[in-house]
Chain A
Amino acid sequence: MQTERTASIRADELGFRVEAKALLERVRLHADQGQLVGLIGPNGAGKSTLLRAIAGVLRPQEGAVWLEGEELKTIPARDVAARMALVPQIAPYTHGFTARELVLMGRYPHLGRFQIEGPNDERIAREAMELTETDEFAERTLDTLSGGERQRVFVSRALAQQPRVLLLDEPTANLDVLHKLRVLDLVRQLVDEGLTAVAAIHDLGMAARYCDRLVLLSEGRVLADGTPAEVLAPDIIEAAFGVRSAVYPDPVTGSLVVSLIAPADENGSASAAGANGRSPHHNREAAASPATPGAATT
């Protein structure tokens, strides 16, 4: 432990339960500076709960979160917000605030209690909106925007916070394919410039393509933690999701593709197709080869 360099963000043996139900159990996760770590797992696995615990939004009963070597609960809330931003999964109801006003809220943690946003803050907000192409509807109230547009505004706000650690909960869930790529390209670019990011991503192919490491959660526990090639193995996917799959590098982009074949408990033709198809053999080759840029660096 001591020889390991300080991670930007580290969750240590987190435990969180609501009444008798354990939502997180001894969860460990770390992200080093300049890493994009993807959180994957089935519905209810605890991805959002883990992100909220890391963000300090909820207090786990066990374990601790460390932000840049300091224990999170010892850091004043506003200092945390100046260093770490969270993009929520469901954009909350925004009560008539315009997109620009919402993005400017990202500047609050950097301002004194009675300080009003100045030209510098306006500039940072404008640039953040340009990056997500939301500047064209800056003066519209958020309730007049589509779900995907709102989601991009919330990404802008997180960027306006100028965080060193960025947490994203399903940032691309409501986005069309173009903006899915744009937002993840943007996060990847910021990470390459030194940002640390942890993102819950539903789409396994997208997670494999953009992330340096994947952490697979299932029923509140970490089932696998490693490079996309290590984590996205058919047996691991079956254990977590209950789905048989084939994993192979995309012939065009080179990143891993997860082909979902059928639910694992179904027998018959689907099973036979999986068994006599090329896929299982193909899998192992794919898992062994450094198929993604992320995997290549490790």
Chain B
Amino acid sequence: MRQFRQAGISVRLAVGGVLLGGLVLLTSLISLSLGPVEIPAGHVAAVVLSFVGLDLAEVSRTEHLVIEQIRLPRILVGAFVGMALAVAGATMQGLFRNPMADPGIIGVSAGGALGAVIAIATGLTGLFFLALPSFAFVGAVAATFLVYGIAAVGGHFSMATLLLAGVAVNAFLGAVISAIIILLPDNEALREILFWLAGGLDSRAWEHVHISAPLIVGATVVILVRARDLNLLMLGDDEARALGVRVSLTRVALLGAAALATGAAVAVSGTIAFVGLVTPHILRLVLGPDHRVLIPLSALAGAVFVIVADTFARTIIQPAEFRVGVLTAFVGAPFFALLLIRNKRQAYAL
């Protein structure tokens, strides 16, 4: 472990990339075969290969449809959401120079939640399919702008003010959501809201992949391009400037990209807790703090985390479904606490 930490960037990237990339494929294939209809691994492989034009074996129409229309889009949405949350978490932790920062720190999750709650409470979700994700996305972006606007007032931007503005906006939006829930006469809508707030990937379809994936991939690319600058920003603005980073521009690009990725994730999955906090944190213990390694591997590890959690969520209490957001927190929080205790010294050193 220690030797791996000291290995060169390309070694850590290559080994980590192969391991985690393999895990993404493996967990996806296992997830594809599990569910109310058990599909043997051979059939899963045959269906997946048929997507790339290789028809090797006969697979029943039902199995093909279940994989293509139900399980695959759901797994893909989960993978992209996990990627978005972990990458945004790693970015926020770097920008705030604080390993406890979370993608929701600048109000983006709460904004998304309020957007979704409004869409459900007004009944718009019944009118058109994309009402919920679009409202959630607009809410997420608007909340981010509000928080950033408060922190940038008077031309003197400060990360400390950003953090406090995030706390204020989060509390305010939370209060608005509670007020709506309390005043809502419709029990069905209430249940839908609570369901959404717990975060879930049930009945996610290809449309959800299509609306979220481009934003998430684009934001991740923007962050990857500036991963090295993020290393310097972590040491302070003066340090970064003295080593050639255009600090304001870089910070806005990184904040914007992290907010966009989180907003897109919240729009299609609700608020899934803990992925953004815990994934980069664990990777940092193994790989060190260099963002050129941390960001791409967080993307893969976040995908694995959500795919695995969602597979459990939809299989452990069949035929009912558990909420993936509840599960990530349920498993993630104790695991995180355990990790903190075991690595107390390193955790402090972070």
Indicate the member of A77, A97, A106 with the most B CB atoms within 10 Å.
A77
- Confirm or deny: A144 has a beta carbon within 8 angstroms of a beta carbon on chain B: yes
Of A51-59, A190-198, A287-295, which stretch is located at the interface? A51-59
Determine, out of A86-94, A240-248, A266-274, the stretch whose residues face the partner at the interface: A86-94
Would you call A85 and B289 a contact (CB within 8 A)? no
Is B97 close to A, CB under 8 A? yes
A86 vs B346: C-alpha distance when bound (angstroms): 29
> Could you jot down 23 A-B contacts, CB within 8 Å?
A56-B241, A57-B238, A77-B245, A78-B244, A81-B243, A88-B242, A92-B235, A95-B97, A95-B289, A96-B284, A96-B289, A97-B231, A97-B289, A97-B290, A98-B6, A106-B243, A108-B228, A108-B244, A116-B8, A116-B9, A117-B9, A143-B349, A144-B349
A21 close to B (CB within 8 Å): no
Whether A82 pairs with B244 at a CB distance below 8 angstroms is yes
Q: Are the CB atoms of A86 and B228 closer together than 8 Å?
A: no
Min distance, Cβ A68 to any Cβ of chain B, angstroms: 16
Interface flags, B232-268, vs A, CB<8A=1, else 0: 1011111101111110000000000000000000000
Contact with A along B215-242 (1 / 0, CB 8 A): 0000000000100100110111111011
**Interface assignment of B26: CB less than 8 Å from any CB of chain A:** no
CB pair B9 A113 closer than 8 Å: no
In the complex, are the beta carbons of A96 and B9 less than 8 A apart?
no
Q: Which one of A82, A98, A116 lies within 8 Å of B292 (CB-CB)?
A: A116
Cross-chain contact A55 with B242 (CB below 8 angstroms) = yes
Residues of B within 8 A of A78 (CB): 244
B35 close to A (CB within 8 Å) = no
Task: Report if A183 contacts B (CB, 8 A).
Answer: no
Write the A81-123 contact mask toward B (1 if CB under 8 angstroms, else 0). 1100110100011111110010001101100011011000000
Whether B238 lies near A52 (C-beta < 8 A) is yes
Select from chain A the residue with minimum beta-carbon distance to B349.
A143
List chain B positions with a Cβ less than 8 A from chain A: 6, 8-10, 97, 99, 225, 228, 231-232, 234-239, 241-246, 284, 288-290, 292, 346, 349-350
CB distance B244 to A95 under 8 Å?
no
Among candidates A109, A141, A144, residue contacting B244 with C-beta atoms closer than 8 Å: A109
Contact indicator B234/A109 (Cβ below 8 Å): no
Question: Which secondary structure characterizes the binding site on chain A?
Answer: mixed
**Which chain B residue lies CB-closest to A100?**
B6
Residue of A whose beta carbon sits closest to that of B99: A95
Please tell me if the beta carbons of B242 and A139 are within 8 angstroms of each other in the complex.
Answer: no
Q: How far is the CA of A33 from the CA of B65 in the complex (A)?
A: 75
Q: Which of A81, A95, A141, A144 has its CB near the most chain B CB atoms (within 10 A)?
A: A95
A108 lies within 8 A of B232 (CB): yes
Q: How far is the CB of A196 from chain B (nearest CB, A)?
A: 16
Residues of B contacting A106 in the complex (Cβ-Cβ under 8 angstroms): 243
The verdict on A139 contacting B6 (CB below 8 Å), with A92-B236, A97-B289 known, is yes
For chain A, residues 29 to 86, give those with C-beta under 8 angstroms from any C-beta of chain B.
Answer: 52, 55-57, 76-82, 85-86
Contacts of B9 in A (CB 8 A): 116-117
A92 touches B239 (CB 8 A): yes
How far, in Å, is A139 (CB) from chain B's closest CB?
Answer: 6
Q: Is the pair A96, B241 in contact by a Cβ cutoff of 8 Å?
A: no
For A108, list chain B residues within 8 Å (CB): 228, 232, 243-244
> Are A97 and B288 also in contact (CB < 8 A) when A92-B235, A141-B349 are?
yes
B288 pairs with A105, CB closer than 8 A = no
B243 A105 Cβ-Cβ under 8 A: yes
A57 pairs with B225, CB closer than 8 A? no
When chains A and B are docked, how far (Å) is the Cα of A113 from the Cα of B224?
A: 10
Shortest CB distance B320–A (Å): 43
Residue of A whose beta carbon sits closest to that of B225: A113
Nearest CB on A from B14, distance (A): 12
Alpha-carbon gap, A286 to B99, bound state (A)? 56
Question: When the two chains form their complex, are residues A93 and B97 in contact, meaning their CB atoms are under 8 A apart?
Answer: yes
Using CB atoms, name the residue of chain B closest to A119: B8
Give Cα distance in the complex from A53 to B176, angstroms.
Answer: 46
Which residues from chain A contact B238 at a C-beta distance below 8 Å? 52, 57, 86, 88, 92
Q: What CA separation (Å) do A56 and B288 show in the bound complex?
A: 30
Q: What is the bound-complex CA distance between A223 and B163, given in angstroms?
A: 42
Q: Which listed residue (A88, A98, A109, A117) contacts B239, Cβ 8 A?
A: A88
Q: A116-B292, A117-B9, A139-B6 are in contact. Are A95 and B234 (CB under 8 A)?
A: yes
Q: How far is the CA of A77 from the CA of B244 in the complex (A)?
A: 4
Interchain CB contact (< 8 A) of B242 among A85, A98, A101: A85
Question: Apart from A77-B241, A77-B245, A96-B289, what are 16 other A-B pairs with CB-CB below 8 Å?
Answer: A55-B242, A56-B241, A57-B238, A82-B244, A86-B238, A88-B239, A92-B238, A94-B235, A95-B235, A95-B289, A97-B289, A105-B231, A105-B232, A105-B243, A116-B8, A116-B292
**Are A109's CB and B243's CB within 8 A?**
yes
Complex CA gap A39/B228 in Å reads 33
B349 and A80 contact, CB distance less than 8 A? no
Which of chain A's residues has its CB closest to B9's CB?
A116
Q: Which of B225, B245, B292, B346 has the most CB of A within 10 A?
A: B245
Q: Closest CB of chain A to B204's CB: distance in Å?
A: 34
A81–B97 contact, CB under 8 A? Answer: no
Closest-by-CB residue of B relative to A80 is B244
User: Which A residues from 205 to 249 make CB contacts under 8 A with B?
Assistant: none
Query: 6 tightest CB-CB pairs across the interface, nearest first?
Result: A81-B244, A78-B244, A86-B242, A109-B244, A92-B236, A96-B289
- Bound form: Cα–Cα A198–B312 in Å: 62
Contacts of B284 in A (CB 8 A): 96
**A225 to B246 alpha-carbon distance, docked (Å):** 33
For the complex, what is the distance from the CA of A80 to the CA of B245, rounded to whole Å?
10
Cα A96 to Cα B243 in complex, Å, equals 19
Q: A98-B288, A101-B288, A105-B232 are in contact. Are A77 and B246 (CB under 8 A)?
A: yes
A154 to chain B minimum Cβ distance, whole angstroms, is 9
Nearest residue (CB) in B for A144 is B349
B249's nearest neighbour on chain A, judged by CB, is A77
Q: Which residue of A lies closest to B237 (CB)?
A: A57
